[in-house]
Structure formats: structure tokens, C-alpha cells
Structure 1
Amino acid sequence: MTEKSTSELQKKLLIFSVFISTSSFLIHEIYSLDVWWQIAIGKDILKTLSIPTTDRYTVAALGNLYHDSHWLFQVIIAAFHHLAGMLGAQFFMVAIWAITLYTCYRSIRQHMTVEISALFVFLVGLSSIERFLPRPEIITFLMIALFYQRLSKHNYKDGKALTIMALLQIIWTNCHGLFVIGPFMAGTYWLSDIIGHFSGKKTNLKKTSLLLAVLILASLITPYGIGAWKYAYLLYTEVGGSASHLMKSVGELAPTFSNKSFSEPLFYPFLIILAGTILSSLKLLFQKKLSLPRAIITISLFMAALTGRRNIVLFVIVAAPFIAENIKALMPEVKLKSPLTTNLIGLLILLVSIYPLSGLYYVKNDIPARSGLGSSPSYYPYSLPDFLRKINFQGNIYNSNIMGGFYLLHSYPERRPLTDGRWEIYNDRILKSILIAPTQPYLMQG
């Protein structure tokens, strides 16, 4: 076997280790509480061919205004659920994440060798594990990766590329409330060209101006028009210092840098990426060789990551290729020279898969699931819907908030849950009283 073929084999084994280890976290039993009501509402939209503007799904919010920013995601995941049950929903989630990580890999690969790029993606995957969930945010993660790649390659100048960007923005706008990140990312390139134009440099100002205008117009192609931007602001108020006490109590909205975060080993890949971003940027900053638009994007999404643990992914998806670009500018020839080093790294990465496959990851983090397919068999009252029909139960259910989506999917429209996970549609006072009622006997009277 030649030296070259051995090197190629080692690269493939390293990539295989990254694939296996990342997949061991990604392919797990569905335990998300929100996926049930996402599917239920998606099925209702497909059945009625109408997108709700007021709530018709819960007793506590019946008739309240409802901005369904996820309607397209709900329709898609409901279609997958119709085809293959929760296995279909799981497949959809895994596919979106696979495309996201591969797109991130391609962005890194522009600057790094195959094996270094694989290591970067592994760190991105580890930093994102908490968000390996079938929720609308995965569309935002995918779009950020796609936008970053296309913008960094200036793949927006001709009519075809511009049309693709517009279509991606329309999909994003109708799937998740963080679609505003798309025009923002394009806006950083427009700002850079504005600065360059007034500095007498040759720029793509006309192209970036057109791109920004097209994306803003595309973001209005939604049943809610400008209301989509207003809802995006509502999402902003749910995190950070302006968030309500109720929202701050949600685990995924907890502070990024907290004792709980530092106690979890998988938080440290995020810290490695953060350190890499800072260290790789400092020298280029002083040399004035740092990419202005990509630096603004990376810094801004880091600020977003500070608003809550669930937003860490927003940062790492762009930070990894940003670091790769910086390192290439500083050290053009970066690679794993020692075959032994490559083999050891591959082995260590493969050993990481023991953490989820053994169940230790789920036990340590109190996650009611294990590696596997479909939904968690031990978390949901699967027999309850049939039992209620069997006894001819009449009326609605006083359910815990976490099970509202499950009841909605299995009981609507015959009966509605009291609440589900869409906290933004409820009156804060009413929701708070409902949540504390089990511990306050007087609220249960009358």
C-alpha cells in the first residue's frame, strides 16, 4: 500500500469516526414536547387548507390572536408523520441536520484540508447536540449555513443565484421567526460595500443592494406580511434581560454561561470554538485583513448565543468556517502531518459515541429517551387517548402543560387540551395561575 493511499484511508477513517459519533447523538428517540402540537396543527392546516390567525387548539387561549410563524414547517413535518409516523418526523429532522452540517463542512473545506474540516464539523455537532430536535429552529440553522456559504462565495450576483436566495428566504420566513437573520446577513455585505464605495474601492454595491432588497421583499411573502417582522420582535423579547420571569424559567432559555452549562462536558466544544474565534481574529484585526461582513455576522450571532443556551447553534455554524478562513490567512499550510496523530484523534472521536449509545448522556441530563428510532416509549401516555374514547369521556382535559401537544394530536377536534407549549399566545396572568394551580388548592375550587 502506498503512502498516498494510506493517507487517503486515514482521512476516510477520520471522517467515518466523525460521522458515527455525530450520528450517535443525532439519532435518538423523539422526546420533544413541541413536536406533537407542531404535527397536529400541520395536519389541521392540510385538512382545512387554512392557516390559523386565532387560536382554535387550546381551551386557555381559545380565540386569542395566534401568529403561526411555523406553518410551513408544520405542514412539512405533518406530511412526513402521515407517511411514517414519528419515524417520518425523525427522518425529516435528521435529514435537515445532515444537510446543515454538510453545508458547514463545505464552507470550512474552502479553507482547510479534509481532515481538519471534519474536526471542525465535529466540534459544531457537539456544540449543537441540545438542539438535535424536530423543531422549526432547524430550518433557521440550515438557512444560516446556506446563506453563509453562498454569501462568502459571492453566489448571488446572477439572476439564478438571486432567485435561489429569494426562494430560500421565503421558505425561512414561513418556517421560523428568526428569518430576519437572512436579510441581516446580506446587509453586512451591503454595509461593507457602502464603506468600500465611499473609500474609493471597487465593490459589488449594486449587486448587494439588489440582494438586500430582494430578501426583504421575500420576507414579506407570508400570510402575515409585515406582521412576520413584528412576531420576530416578540421572539426577541422572550430571551435575554427583557424576557418575562416565566420565559426565563424555561431550561433552553437559561443563561448560556451558567453553572449547569459548565457542568456539562458537551458545553466545552462551544468554548473551544469561541476561543478559536477570538484568537484567530485578533492578529488579522490588527493587520486589517479580517473580513468585515463575516466578522459582523459572527460577532452578532455570538451576541445572540448569549441570550440563551438554545441559541449557541446560531453562533457555532458561522464561527467554524470563519475560524477556518482566519487560520488559512495566518497559516496557509495547516494539516495533520503525523499518521499516528490522525489515527489517535479518529479513535478518540469514535469513543465519544459511547456517551450517548450507553445511555449515560441521557441519564446524566435527565432526558427521557435513548439512542433509537421513533418516539420515546416511556414518556408519553400512549394508551390514554384510546382509554378516553373507550369510556366515552366528555369534555376537555386539565392537562399538564408539557403534555398538551400530545393530547392535541390525539384528541383534536373532539376535545382540546387546556394548554400546550405555545406560551406566547396565552395571557401571562392566566398561564401563570394555571401552571401553579396544582400546588394551590384554592385555585382548584369553584
Structure 2
Amino acid sequence: MKLYKLFVSFLIISLLFIGFFHPIISITQDLGRHFLLGEIILKTLSVPKTNLFSYTYPDFPFVNLHWLSEVLFFVIFKTIGFNGLLIFSTTIVIASFGLMFFKLFKSNNFLALSGGSILYLLILFERTDIRPEIFSFLFLSIFLAILYKYREKYTKWIFLLPFIEILWVNMHIYFIIGNALLFFFLLENIILKRKKLFSKKTKVL
């Protein structure tokens, strides 16, 4: 059974690699803007607070929620080029899913969850360009891995979450998912503790 799980995991990870590791023929979508903003931030050591690329309203207030991703993309691009950036992006995505599959190995619903993953990949392949959201994939996977581990048994890894969240806030707008996960896991923990307490009181009576 373990060999079967390894094969399915390898298949899905391979699909990820094929889907995301494609040559960059031109600067697509928002990548050019990310490069330029990353360069501006490095040169000025400040994050622009207005929409610099608007012709009609350049002074419009703008909160850049992925400035750190832009700096990182620009540095990698200038250091090792497009191919290096592509390898970096693909590695982040594969690491994110790989972490989840590592947790799936212990699940009794491995087959169903794997099938769901393949369906999700079909949606994900519509957005294979290099984007700041790759960091949300990674941070989400780390959050889930740590929170589920903490649910099973206390772990000091839980103290990493605030620092990861600080990075997440500055790398992509989906950082709110991290806050939501913490809230729901905390709520679940409170409910379970109340149930146990109520159960003990009932037994005493």
C-alpha cells in the first residue's frame, strides 16, 4: 500500500512539474510590473504608496501587499535569469504540494484526497505564470502541517506561525487565509475542551 501511495504522489508531483516548468517566452501577465516595482523598492528602500502605472490617476493611493515577493523575484531574475526564476517558482509549488502529500500518507482517505488534488491541479494549471501567490501555496501548506501536528500532539513548531504570517502579509494578499485557519483551529480547540469538560461533569452527576 505504501508503494501505491508513493506512485500516486510521484504522479501528481510530476504533473505539477510539467504544468509549471515551462519556458518563459516573454514577460507575461504582471511579471514585468513585479520586476519594475522590485527594482524601485530596492533603489529607494521604500514601498510606493500610489499607483505608479496609472496614466489617468497616478496619485491614487495603493497598498502593495506583495512588495517582498516583487523584490525577491527581481533579485533572482537579475542574479540567475529567467530560467533560475522559473526553477525557483516551480520548486516552491512542488514543495508546497509535497508537504501536503507527506501528511496525506497517514490518511485513510489517501485515494479520495489524491483524486481531489488532481481535479484541483486542472484549475491550478490555468495560472502557471510566475506570481506572488506561489508563496501563499507554501505558507498555507506550512500552516496546515503545523496546525494538524499540533492537533495530534503539542509541538514547538506552533511558535513559528506568527513569524511566517509576518512574511505572508508582505508577500501576498492571501495572508488572511492564515488568520482564518488560526481562528478556526482555535475555535475547534475551545469546542472540544468544552465538550470534554461537559462530559466529565455529566459522569460525576
Is 1:193 matched up with 2:194? no
Measured after TM superposition, the shift of residue 194 of structure 1 is 2.6
| Cα 1:93/1:82, change in 2 over 3 Å | same
1:182 is aligned, of 178, 185, 188, to: 178
Structure having the higher Rg: 1
Q: Answer 1 or 2: which has greater helix percent.
A: 2
In structure 2, relative to structure 1, the CA distance for the partners of 1:61 and 1:28 (3 Å cut) is farther
Q: Given the alignment, which residue of 10, 19, 26 partners 2:20?
A: 26
Partner SS, residue 48 of structure 2: coil
Q: Which residue of 2 aligns with 1:125?
A: 121
* Counterpart position of 1:103: 99
Q: How does 1:260-299 map to 2 (within 5 A)?
A: none
**Distance (whole Å) between structure 2 residues aligned to residue 199 and residue 151 of structure 1:** 20
* In 2: Cα distance, 1:27 partner to 1:190 partner: 38
One-letter code aligned to 2:82 = M
Aligned partner of 1:47 in structure 2 is: 43
User: Structure 1, residues 277-313: CA drift from partner, whole Å, max 9, x if none?
Assistant: xxxxxxxxxxxxxxxxxxxxxxxxxxxxxxxxxxxxx
Change (3 A) 1:111 1:14: closer
Report matched runs for 1:388-407 at 5 Å.
none
TM-score normalised to the size of structure 2?
0.79
Q: Deviations over 1:116-174 (max 9, x none)?
A: 7765544443332112221122222222222122111217955x423311111111111
- Matching residue of 1:38: 34
Closer, same or farther in 2 for the Cα pair 1:124/1:90, shift >3 Å?
same
Give the count of matched residue pairs: 195
CA contact (8 A) 1:104 1:121 kept: no
Residue 167 of structure 1 corresponds to 163
Change (3 A) 1:13 1:35: same
- Compute the displacement of 1:79 (Å): 1.0
3-state SS, counterpart of residue 22 of structure 1: helix
Change (3 A) 1:61 1:183: same
Higher relative contact order (Cα pairs below 8 Å, separated by 6+ residues): 1
Question: How far, CA to CA, are the matches of 1:197 and 1:32 in structure 2?
Answer: 50
Structure 2 residue corresponding to 1:135, chosen from 131, 140, 145: 131
1-side partners of 2:109 and 2:59: how far apart? 56
1:57-87 Cα offsets, whole Å, 9 max, x none, are: 4433322212111111111111111112222
Q: Where in structure 1 do 4 or more consecutive aligned residues deviate above 4 Å?
A: 10-16, 112-121, 155-158
Local SS of the residue matching 1:201: helix
Matched, 1:70 2:63: no
Match of 1:147 in 2: 143
* Aligned counterparts of 1:113 and 1:146: Cα–Cα separation in 2: 20
**2:59 counterpart of 1:79:** no
The answer to whether the 8 Å contact 2:49/2:63 transfers is: yes
Q: Check whether the contact 2:52–2:59 (CA below 8 A) recurs between aligned residues.
A: yes
Gapped regions of structure 1 (runs ≥ 5): 203-446
Mapped to 2, the partners of 1:149 and 1:58 lie a distance apart of: 41
- Identity across matched positions, percent: 24
Deviation readout 1:299-349 (Å, 9 max, x if unpaired)? xxxxxxxxxxxxxxxxxxxxxxxxxxxxxxxxxxxxxxxxxxxxxxxxxxx
Inter-CA distance 108–99: structure 2 relative to 1 (3 Å threshold): same
Q: Which runs of 5 or more residues in structure 2 are unaligned? A: 199-205
Cα pair distance change 1:191/1:14, threshold 3 Å: closer
Per the alignment, in what secondary structure is the counterpart of residue 128 of structure 1? Answer: helix
Could you tell me which residue of structure 2 aligns to residue 91 of structure 1? 87
